[in-house]
Amino acid sequence: MDPRGAGVPGTTILSESTGRVVRMSSAIRFSAYGDPDVLELVDAPDPVPGEGEVLVRVRAAGVNPADFKRRSGLWSGGKALDAPAGLGYDLAGVVEAVGSGVGTPKVGDDVFGTGTDTYAELAIATPKTLAQRPVDIPWEVAGGIGVAGRTAYRVLRQLEVGPGDTLLIHAAAGGVGILATQLAIAWGATVIGTAGSDNQAFVRELGATPVRYGDGLADRVRAAAPDGVDAVLDASGRGELAVSVELAGGPDRVITLAANDAKEHGVRFSGSDEGVDVSDAFPELARRISSGDVVLPVWRTFPLAEAADAHRASEDGHLRGKIVMLP
């Protein structure tokens, strides 16, 4: 019997190939790149933590655009999928087991951060991508911090945002934008945030000056920031780089997370930590969310079985906060 074969989630099966009992739990898998309907809820063998790894019982798993980009094959580079594949990076949950060499976290600890294939009841992470979850941060909020929080923190550090800066953030009402807006303000910057009409009031509530994206953006930003902008964080990637470089007076303090034409504009594309120390990203966000200094609204929640609907909502692209799956 294939250990990935039929079984009831939460139960065990006997593997004919190894003769061992295999514990099963629910997980999302997909076997071909494609539309959201390729996502299937299956019973899969529980992941086993190796050396330096942590097994987390997932209570909440945030959905990121990276997830639908991976599912659709946008990032495949033409290579076939290693099927069946899991999905998801964000997680919050309780440590179920640890591999050798792991001191903290310990079994039973509440954690949040990022891991591997987190659209599942159980997922693997490493200690350096996890932080303790303060008990007053609800699971669904903690589960949505991962990629967006770490990215927001990293890019603000890469842009060297600090007191006195005026920062323009494209897509301020998205997961990255919400956290970047509030962190930048907490670090002493003034923020101008772009959003659609429905999210103008929300962006103002975050502490930024909202401006509508679309035609005439440069004039609206100039009106909002008569002394100009010092830096730009592009969390949209929908053609904002030329105007960003113009507004910032050059590309040096413009970073995009999503635009394919970064090189053309002399702009840095940030895709990894790239020498920035992000070890305090999750602890700082946990402190600030716990104290109410930073908020991370949850836009919609979905059970694992509705992963396809969660992806459709994410791909719609007009959200106000995080989409979170609740296994």
Ligand X SMILES: NC(=O)c1ccc[n+]([C@@H]2O[C@H](COP(=O)([O-])OP(=O)(O)OC[C@H]3O[C@@H](n4cnc5c(N)ncnc54)[C@H](OP(=O)(O)O)[C@@H]3O)[C@@H](O)[C@H]2O)c1
Q: Which is nearer to ligand X, 120 or 262 (CB)?
A: 262
Q: How many residues bind ligand X (CB under 6 A)?
A: 30
Distance CA 4, CA 92 (A): 25
Q: Which is nearer to ligand X, 66 or 305 (CB)?
A: 66
Distance CA 323, CA 143 (A): 10
Cβ partners under 8 Å of residue 274, min gap 6: 158
Q: Figure out which of the listed residues 235, 247, 307, 324 binds ligand X, where binding follows CB under 6 A.
A: 235
Q: How many CA atoms lie within 13 A of 7 on its CB side?
A: 23
57 touches 115 (CB < 8 A): no
CB of 271 to ligand X, least distance (A): 4
Q: Which stretch binds ligand X (CB under 6 A): 53-61, 128-136, 159-167, 232-240?
A: 232-240
Q: Figure out which of the listed residues 25, 26, 64, 209 binds ligand X, where binding follows CB under 6 A.
A: 64
Q: Which stretch binds ligand X (CB under 6 A): 49-57, 89-97, 144-152, 221-229?
A: 144-152
Query: Does residue 66 bind ligand X (CB under 6 A)?
Result: yes
Distance CA 238, CA 214 (A): 10
CB atoms within 10 A of CB 188: 11
Residues 258-287 that bind ligand X (CB under 6 A): 258, 270-271
Query: Does residue 173 bind ligand X (CB under 6 A)?
Result: yes
Q: Which is nearer to ligand X, 238 or 288 (CB)?
A: 238
In the block, which residue shows the tokens 């669904």? Answer: 140
Distance CA 300, CA 307 (A): 12
Q: Which is nearer to ligand X, 173 or 225 (CB)?
A: 173
